Amino acid sequence: MPEPLSYYDRLAGQAAIVTGAGAPGEEMGNGRAIALLFAREGARVCVVTRDRANAERTVAIIEAFGGEAFACAGDVTHAEDCERIVAEALAAFGTLDILVNNVGRGFGGPKLADIDDATWREIVDINLTGAFHMCRAAIPALIEGRGKAIVNISSTAGQRAHGSLGYGPAKAALDAFTREIATVYGRQGIRANIVSPGHLHTPHVANNPQLAPLREKRRKVGPLGIEGDAWDVAAATLFLASPEARLITGVLLPVDAGVSQIAAMTGHSLIEGP
């Protein structure tokens, strides 16, 4: 979808942390799109990524349209970095209302023999443990905040086998972790939900020599037959973080043109069609 042109201050006055929200150059990944849309809707945003320069590029875009944001460099696989990120957000904003855990990455070989112990731990750390660290650091502040919303960005690989022995299981664990957060902290007003992107066309896909040639197949396999991008993820995340979703918690929202809801043979027939 194109970048939204209409905004409604749905997050006015709220403070948000968005991890994985930087990107090289002008690339529009999921995290950057989420941070930009949140700022357009009135949120003050702590833009987190390991590379400060990439975070500062996102901040510059936000400041150019009059939004408020600051860059925070940190590695969410390190608990001490997550504690510092939350502390910096509180120092800048005085409150914390929304946490978006967007950090994730798929890698590792196709067979168990291709994944050594160090790679396995890295896959789990990036796709699961980072969200655990951020939630543990942020929840005390979220309890005191107004929005009290956590949105974790997962993947359809967590619900359907994609031939990924590390990434898929880690995302499935993230989904389960999110539901537990929703259950344990619901009485304290915290809502925790999952956005599950499917075959979107993002810079990660465009720059991947294995995925880029499959662009048309990825589009056709969904019942809608249209191509999604980072703005689709951002719009879904905005909804789940906003007061409009006040009665929604523990849910998984696929953003995938319906591909996770169809059988394999149906998907095959769609690829062969127009």
Question: Phi and psi for 187 in degrees, rounded to 5?
Answer: -70, -15
The answer for residues whose C-beta is within 8 angstroms of residue 228's C-beta and 6 or more apart is 1, 197, 198, 199, 200, 201, 255, 256, 257
Task: Give the gyration radius of the chain's Cα atoms.
Answer: 18
Q: What share of the chain is helix, strand, coil (3-state, %, to 5)?
A: 50, 15, 35
- Strand order through the sheet with 191-197: 68-73, 44-49, 15-19, 98-101, 149-153, 191-197, 252-255
Question: How many CB atoms sit inside 10 A of residue 106's CB?
Answer: 19
* DSSP code for 126: I
Q: Is 8 a catalytic residue?
A: no
Active-site residue, from 7, 8, 167, 185: 167
80: left (phi over 0), alpha (psi -120 to 50) or beta: alpha
**Residue numbers annotated as active site:** 167
